[in-house]
Amino acid sequence: MNSSVNHPATVETGRLLSPPGFDVEAIRRDFPILHQQINGYPLAYLDSAASTQRPIQVIDAISRYYTHDHANVHRGVHTLSHRATDIYEGARESVRSFINARSTREIVFTRGTTEAINLVAATLGQRLTAGDEILISAMEHHSNIVPWQMLCERKGTILRVAPINDQGELLFDEFEKLLGKRTRLVAITHVSNALGSVNPVREIIASAHAHGIPVLIDGAQAIAHQSVDVQALDCDFYAFSSHKMCGPTGIGALYGREALLETLPPYQGGGDMILTVSFSGTTYNELPYRLEAGTPHIAGAAGLGAAVDYLRQVGMDNIASHEAELLTYASNALSALPGLQLVGTAAHKAGVVSFNVDGIHPHDVGTVLDQHGVAIRAGHHCAMPVMERFGIPGTARASFAFYNTRAEIDQMIDALRLAIRMFA
């Protein structure tokens, strides 16, 4: 892959352009899956909000681990175990550096964002009592709703929901009104997967902290699209998934402020989260291992570490600028189509466009586009309360990554024109 230098987006003749030195065609050559045909058309993969694709560097890292280095970690005295441990802990350090955590003790490997949120709900939740409140927003993914509902069922806690406006933006004044004496945690998304709305997380965190309330950020849709600095944000927890950031499925991470993680009880019991075990009792391991029971996803960590290295090589500023250009281009092109309505028009958005077309069900839109090689998402996007807020069953959703091009958006627009004529 050609390396790129970091430059902000530039404006020329009214158009937002990708940063100088950003070679999307060189980047695309790193992604083998993109170079195929679907139904006789070149694949236009516009579903990265669901899962990004993997560059060959990540694929090779996983293959190399299984080919040369596979063994269990932390427990063996032989060479392969040492190699595997170095790979696994090296990935933890890569993640720590990527989000600017203070220590690797603050990086807990999980199966992904969902497990990370469940970990906090299951551990921090143990100290909550009936009447305590968890505050979320109306744009949350199910993964940041259901664990708190389950906690409410177990403990009698109360789930409060901050509303959003018709553009899909958090009503910050209403959010602040819901911060109360019984609020024990704010759990909120950084970027909405269904709308693309970017929440003012710095302000949210500062407001919550002014009341002494810790904050968990669901970073699944932000981590691969903008720079994330957990110290600058001052968040208490930040959860994200590898498969949203060009890494393998089945692994992710929870950042937690060390002083807060130290207070959490173990999440699961088993191997590696212990120091000593006897029938009379168990002594638990130190952070982060106390929260990582069992043999971990070592190959996943190898892939995640390689993905982090790849994203850093491309440059997060370059990624953000290129995706902003694609978002502007796609939003303008979609808005020009007859009978199409954009859903989610926040002033601050990531590379997600959700839309509906008069007289065509989102699933039919997705099917027609697939027939023309375009992969988008159709449905409620694991955000059914968002759809209820807008009074719709679902949307068609195109989402962009740094390997996407204007030509792929044009391919989607051409297919949408055919769909509109087909269902007219």
Residue positions annotated with a catalytic role: 382
End-to-end CA distance of the chain: 45
State the SS3 of the chain.
CCCCCCCCCEEECCEEECCCCCCHHHHHCCCHHHCCEECCEECEECECCCCCCCCHHHHHHHHHHHHHHCCCCCCCCCHHHHHHHHHHHHHHHHHHHHHCCCCHHHEEEECCHHHHHHHHHHHHHHHCCCCCEEEEECCCCHHHCHHHHHHHHHHCCEEEEECECCCCCECHHHHHHHCCCCEEEEEEECECCCCCEECCHHHHHHHHHHCCCCEEEECCCCCCCCCCCHHHHCCCEEEEEHHHCCCCCCCEEEEECHHHHCCCCCCCCCCCCEEEEECCEEEECCCCHHHCCCCCCHHHHHHHHHHHHHHHHHCHHHHHHHHHHHHHHHHHHHHCCCCEEEECCCCCECCEEEEEECCECHHHHHHHHHHCCEECEEECCCCHHHHHHHCCCCEEEEECCCCCCHHHHHHHHHHHHHHHHHCC
Which residue type is seen at 91?
A
Nearest alpha carbon to residue 218 among 144, 109, 138: 144
What is the spatial distance between Cα 346 and Cα 344, in angstroms, rounded to a whole number?
6
Nearest alpha carbon to residue 86 among 301, 287, 278: 301
Cα 392–Cα 394–Cα 399 angle in degrees, nearest 5: 130
